[in-house]
Structure 1
Amino acid sequence: MDWRNRITSDPEVLTGKPVISGTRLSVEHVLGLLENGWSETDILESYPHLESEDVRACLAYAREVLSEERLYHAPQS
């Protein structure tokens, strides 16, 4: 899945946080719902304007962002 078809960022919407296109629903919010035990079905029932692909796009976005993250540990003195 190419999340770029469903996730956008605009400085005028939620100060540029990534959101599901055409909404003010942030990727962060959707991930938080999933973290709190919501199923995809729960999300789609609560936000009927969303599609299953929107939820999967949030996960794909998060995966890609994390795959590019690098952590460097400084030696302990």
Structure 2
Amino acid sequence: MQDRTIKIGEKYRHFKGNEYLVLYLAKHSETLEDMVVYQKLYGDFGIWVRPLSMFLGKKEVDGKLINRFEEIDNKL
């Protein structure tokens, strides 16, 4: 069960360090699975899509479970 929610228009940091901007939530046309449409904030600024469950999911790194993407707190 997912305890996190996605925020459209917010920046997220991938566990490898790069930053991304969440543009939209979309539905997969065949499965109706929720998908996140997001943009790289570096390099070619490409547009990517990933299942919401994966975007908000955990990843094992060095034996620890961490968030795959973490919202960046832009408040001062």
* TM-score normalised according to structure 1 size: 0.31
Bigger proportion of residues as helix: 1
Structure with greater strand percent: 2
Larger Rg: 1
TM-score (norm 2): 0.31
